[in-house]
Each structure stands twice: as structure tokens, then as C-alpha cells.
Copies of this chain bind each other. A is one copy, B any other.
Amino acid sequence: MNLLNLDSLPIQLRNAIMVQSLKPGQVLYRQGDPAGMFYVVEAGRLKLVRYGEDERTTTLLVARSGEGFAEVALFAEVYPCTAIAEIASQVIAYPKPLLLSALRDYPDLAEDFMTLLVQRIQALQIRLELRDIRASHERVLRYLRYLAQPGRTVIRFDRPLKDIANDLGLTPETLSRALTRLERDGRISRNQQQIILHNSSAA
């Protein structure tokens, strides 16, 4: 039983899910809206952002095809962040009360969900750890190594560098300079959208 595998779900939950299509830039739900659904990305890409005061925005998560999000909403009254489609996307919506009762009734499903939560925790911890690296080029390098699949050394960004800069807590200019510096120092190579890591223990 798996949240991402529709056929494996209990029938009453399976029957209650809905599919929703989103245009690029479309908002799925807003920070502060009553929390009614849990979502899984069927296709496309969404981002979850929190708006602080004075224009600052923090991207809490980028959810890609096959990934779930809004898990926090199951245990809260309102959504703590805003979900926006970065590109055209389809999402599957699970009504909160039904999913909650399914989690009570099916330990397999609950275990699956807990695994999701734990992975989320680990991802956040890694991002936090990244922020402790002061030097921008070192931070970027660590980020790249984290992105690279173990063993592989090539990375292709599927979203604008300026968004990645924001995730890393840098300005686009600083990220750009960090990348050129890493290239100058021979730590990476770049051709068009592709980045190749060099000579390093890819963590």
C-alpha cells in the first residue's frame, strides 16, 4: 500500500480522490486557507512558499512528479504556505478526513506516510546545514553534490537559477559568480544547462 500508487489504496479513499489541472503560475491554495486536502503531484512541478513580512519569500519545498505535499495540513486547521504551479501540472487531491481515517485503519499506509514525513525532515535538515556554510561557492558546491545522484556527476537544472539562488539564500548575482568561480577553479564544468562535478567525493 502506497500513497503514490492509486491502485494500492483502500477503495473508499480511492473513490474520493480528485484530479486537478493547473496552469503555470496558478495557485492551488493560499497560506491561511482552511486546510482540506493532501496532494500528490501527478505531473508537473509545484512550489510551496511562505510569505514573510516585507516581500521576503521562502520556498519550503519544490514538489515534482510523484511527490506528495501539504502533509502538514492534515494536522493543522489552515495551510501554512501557498502552493503554486511552476509549470502546467496535474495534482491528485485526497480529502483530509478520509485520508486521516485511512491512516488509522491501514498501518501500511500510516507507515508509508511516516516515511514521507521523515524524508521531509531530513531534507529540511540538509537545507539548514547548507545555510551554515558562509562562503557562497562552497555552499553552492555542497548543494550540487547533494543534488547529484550518488555516482553520477552531471546535474541539469529544471528551474531558473534565480529560484535556486533564493533556495540557497543567495542573490542570483552571487550564485552566478559562485558558479563561474567554481568553474575557474576546476571544481565543475558547465555547458548550457548542464553542470559536471569534478574530482570529488560526491557526498
Residues of A within 8 A of B (CB): 50, 52, 56, 58, 60, 71-72, 74-76, 80, 103-105, 107, 110-111, 113-115, 117-118, 120-122, 124-125, 127-129, 131-133, 169
Contact = CB atoms under 8 A, between A and B. Distances in A.
A148 to B, nearest CB: 17
**Copies of the protein in its oligomer:** 2
Nearest to A104: B107
A97 to B, nearest CB: 13
A26 to B, nearest CB: 23
A115 B75 contact: yes
A121 B60 CA distance: 10
A129 B71 contact: no
B111 A114 contact: no
Given A74-B118, A75-B118, 8 more contacts: A60-B128, A72-B121, A104-B110, A117-B121, A127-B128, A128-B131, A131-B131, A131-B169
Nearest to A120: B121
A47 B128 CA distance: 16
A106 B129 CA distance: 35
Given A127-B128, A131-B128, A131-B131, A114 B122 contact: no
Contacts of A169: 131-132
A75 B114 CA distance: 9
A60 B131 CA distance: 12
B111 A72 contact: no
B103 A114 contact: yes
Contacts of A111: 103-104
A120 B118 CA distance: 9
A131 B168 CA distance: 10
A31 to B, nearest CB: 12
A52 B132 contact: yes
Nearest to A71: B118
Contacts of A113: 114
